[in-house]
Amino acid sequence: MSAESPVAAAPEAAPSELFIVGFPGGELPAELRDRFARGDFAGLIFFTRNFRDPTDLVAIAEFLHSIAATYAPPQPELKALPPIFALDYEGGRVQRIKAPFTVWPRMGHLRAHPPELAEKVGRAMAVELSALGINVNFAPVLDVDSNPHNPIIGDRAFADTPAAVSARALAFLRGLESHGGLRGCGKHFPGHGDTETDSHLTLPVVRRDLPALRAVELGPFVDAVAAGIGMLMTAHVVYPAVDSRPATLSPRWLTEILRRELGFTGVCVSDDMDMNAVTAQELGLADDSEVVVEALLAGCDAFLFCKDADRLHRAEAALLRAAQSDARVRARINESAARLRRFRQTLAPCQPQLAALRRFPAPEHEQLCAQILKPPADVGKPGA
């Protein structure tokens, strides 16, 4: 992990350059394929649904490489940048590709073990993802498991105290990023651990005051920024003591606190903009087309649109309209595009290692899993 240095804004970047896009089926739609090839988007995010046989690692790698091979933007400055090829690969409930890769336990098991084990897990995951051609893993979770009624985070979190989360999540990130060209992304700023609803379904609210949020939820993010993390994902969560808008749309959270107070200089990426938490109905808007403009002006740099092509098109059209009439929007597009380009310079291109993939499952990774699942009293005993 290394701190990002400021760079000049990208001159007249297209709004679509801020998008990381997913698709619903097992074939890349023709329009998305064409626009990806032209360099319109920052990159792609993949899900289990995109792979005809999620157990055939070689076929998945060949599919990813066939897409990457089409990338040929006419602009030299974009052609030189590897596109983002992203996956959610946390372990536990959120692991898009499983066997014959390692079926990793929930990271919550690591709270019983020293951070060194989390770093080994990050290194092992990096071996798997790099062999596949993935260059961004939307992990680690930096949320604190602070509410036993939370339906979406829980044991996805590394621990239930800020210090324990920081120690293990950042050790995991060091391991993950030790494999050159693969980057992690901490999530979900400023903390999703105390919610009682799922932002995929509705807009969660956390009713802690700001001192309590600083004492618990914010701690791992403060530590991650100090460690030089290059990408953070926002939470579609409202914290009324700070702002009436969800963090993804909040200049108080994203500009005043994250950028100015914490000193974050990396890429701030939204959680999926297809989630119900940021629909027009949940936000009290006439339509959802302007949500991405509000998020951009709040301080968000990149936007995930994981499935809904219509919503992606409406968001892009809204950004184009706003950029034509508002100099602030144009400036923010260029500033965010510059951050994304700088981040992409650190990525490896999608170059799968087919021979390595044929060697999975990896016995040494299975041994790590067994170690994670052992009661802590057994770890370190002779024969344990």
So which residues are the catalytic ones? Answer: 200, 271
CB-CB contact of 240 with 195 (8 Å):
no
Question: What whole-number distance in Å separates Cα of residue 370 and Cα of residue 25?
Answer: 34
Could you tell me the strand order of the sheet in which 19-21 lies?
A: 183-184, 136-137, 84-87, 43-46, 19-21, 302-305, 267-272, 231-234, 186-189
Question: What whole-number distance in Å separates Cα of residue 117 and Cα of residue 107?
Answer: 11
Alpha-helical runs (H) found in 104-227: 115-132, 162-177, 210-215, 219-226
Question: What whole-number distance in Å separates Cα of residue 283 and Cα of residue 294?
Answer: 11
C-alpha dihedral over 206, 111, 94, 39, to 10 degrees?
80
Question: What whole-number distance in Å separates Cα of residue 49 and Cα of residue 69?
Answer: 21
Backbone angles phi, psi at 33, to 5 degrees: -60, -45
Strands 136-137 and 231-234: unpaired
In terms of Cβ atoms closer than 10 Å to its own Cβ (0-12, 13-18, 19+), residue 93 is: exposed
Instruction: Please state the separation of Cα 382 from the chain's center in Å.
Output: 39
b/e sequence 360-377, b meaning 16+ C-beta within 10 Å: bebeebeebbebbebeee
